[in-house]
Amino acid sequence: MTREPLVDVARLSNGLRVVLAPGPHLHRTAVACLTQVGARYEDASNAGLSHFLEHMLHRGTPSYPSAHALASQIEGMGASLDAATGVDRGSLVVTTPPENTLDAIEVLGEVLEHPLFCDLEVERGIVHEELLEDRDDRGRLIDPDGIVRSLVFGEHPLGFPIVGTPATLKRFSVPMLRAHHERHYTTETTVVAVAGKLPSRPRLLRTLERAFARRPRGGRLVPAPFRVNPPAATAAAPISITRSHSSQASLRVACVAPGRKDKSAPAAELLIRLVDDGNATRLYERLCDRRGLCYEVSAGYEAYDETGLFDVAAESNEGAITEVLTEVLGMLGDFAKEGPSQAEIDRALARARWQAERSLDQPEHAAENGALGVLADEPLTAFGRAERLARCSRTALRSLARRMFRPDRLRIAVVGSVSRSTAKQLESIAERYASAYPS
């Protein structure tokens, strides 16, 4: 396998951690800023504030005093600025031609250091339109991912919608934004990574020092922990039905998974690859190739500090949704009873190594991997993550699957034109899964 790239971690004079991941063969550079911010650091009164703050950071700085002026400057350098807010972290990533790396760092530093927070009502309107994508004409949440997340995490902030609610969006103000910005965008909670074809280390560090000099040190953020209820006696998974007019029904099956600090987190990461990492894995083969029930299916695993979320997503016509649930639960039950085959494990590990090699040509991935590694105390590269997966045994994978896929741990959400008879069939399928689950 290709040799693992060297990654340099340094601290600026104000305590900000920076990651340098040189890739001299590349023709792009990525500058990524990752921050501890997101839904899990909010409460019911300000849900969505982290996401709204991310939007408002684009509204301008003293040097570029409007969203258009900022976009013109970035795009005029041949660069792009992408941003995202997740459950427990947010990201700002600038990708640029190598010759403009230092200028791009200066611009990103100003975005982070000196946001104007202007045109708030304009941005509120934009986010309101984004929020409406997940709701029907009566204001009900019809986003299956948001619904199943709330089923798994309940009233804990991990279950909050990242975009917030119509009620919280109305409350956001410039003072709220400034307070949230000062609390979360600090040297203690932020990591900046630069990957790709880099300038000399001294020039790079001098520019980073200048660009991020005013970030306050801040303090360590300790969010409210999530506690899993004790196991129930093989109770059937509860099903949430949200009736909405659509040509298809959306199915989500989800459960709590290990957090990133759990010793079984690598096994969970490998398990999701066994479920869904290409069309040869079990999920696609069972639902699409063999049965033709779906056009597209997927599964995901998100790890937070003390817990995580595993979910399977599928869309199908209402008449086939019962068969889809039967196949999904059958697949999960097979993993719990027998675990994966060694051939499946070997293929998943090989793909992880190949994907690590491919990341050498993707500076955005290298920058985000490095920043996340420092922020979350994880491996700094995709190579380190692949190596960690290789230490997982088949026995450990089966044991984890049996714990995760217990009927009482699963939560099922269906959104679509679902009849009462179909809803009863779905409940019967969940009950049969519970009665057949290995003790």
**Domain definitions of the chain by residue range:** 8-211, 239-436
Query: What was the pLDDT predicted at 219?
Result: 87
> Do the domains spanning 8-211 and 239-436 agree at the CATH topology level?
yes
Per-residue pLDDT of the chain (439 residues; tens, 9 = 90+): 466 678 999 999 999 999 999 999 999 999 999 999 999 999 999 999 999 999 999 999 999 999 999 999 999 999 999 999 999 999 999 999 999 999 999 999 999 999 999 999 999 999 999 999 999 999 999 999 999 999 999 999 999 999 999 999 999 999 999 999 999 999 999 999 999 999 999 999 999 999 999 888 988 899 999 988 766 655 788 999 999 998 999 999 999 999 999 999 999 999 999 999 999 999 999 999 999 999 989 999 999 999 999 999 999 999 999 999 999 999 999 999 999 999 999 999 999 999 999 989 999 999 999 999 999 988 888 999 999 999 999 999 999 999 999 999 999 999 999 999 999 999 999 999 999 998 7
Q: Is the dihedral of CA 96, 97, 101, 106 positive or negative?
A: negative
Q: 3-state class of 33 per DSSP? A: strand
Query: What was the pLDDT predicted at 223?
Result: 92
Query: What was the pLDDT predicted at 228?
Result: 82
Which stretches within 57-100 are classed as H helix?
A: 67-76
CATH fold label, 239-436: Cytochrome Bc1 Complex; Chain A, domain 1 (3.30.830)
Judge whether 19 and 374 are in contact, CB under 8 Å: yes
Q: What is the pTM of this model?
A: 0.94
Q: Is the dihedral of CA 151, 152, 154, 160 positive or negative?
A: negative
Amino acid 125 reads G
Query: What was the pLDDT predicted at 6?
Result: 82
CATH number of 8-211: 3.30.830.10
Q: 3-state class of 79 per DSSP? A: coil
- Transcribe 195-237 into DSSP letters: EES---HHHHHHHHHHHTTT--------PPPP-PPPPPSSPPP
User: Closest Cα partner for 115 from 70, 51, 83, 79?
Assistant: 70
- Residue 361 is given by DSSP the state G
